[in-house]
Amino acid sequence: MNKSDLIGEAQKILGDEFSKTAVERVLNAIQEAIRAAVERHDTVQLVGFGTFSVASRAARTGVNPRTKQKIRIPGKMVVKFKPGTDLNRAV
């Protein structure tokens, strides 16, 4: 399912009260709000759905598959998603 499909499904659930354009605007606003929170290193918890958080990934040593030489992989900040109970049950 891509973004367009998701918008269509959400519009079906909401019914004729909301147009696809309105649903798309809401989805874009939610995405932007989550992105802004993650940029501030805040945690976004959507009860039953899941939690978005930021974690630090430590630097490590890896291996170049072509040359088999050891390389240094720098640490970085990554976004993590932990599914909520309801989402896990659905699967």
The reply to whether 54 and 21 lie within a common domain is no
Q: Are 60 and 74 in contact (CB under 8 A)?
A: no
| Residue position matching structure tokens 């309801």 | 86
pLDDT tens, residue by residue, 7-17: 999 999 999 89
pLDDT of residue 16: 86
| Residue position matching structure tokens 């499904």 | 9
Structural domain boundaries, residue 5 = 1-40
pLDDT tens, residue by residue, 11-61: 999 998 999 999 999 999 999 999 999 999 999 999 999 999 999 999 999
pTM reported for the whole predicted model: 0.81
Give the length of the chain.
Answer: 91
The reply to whether 79 and 63 lie within a common domain is yes
Is residue 63 pLDDT above 90, yes or no?
yes
pLDDT of residue 43: 97
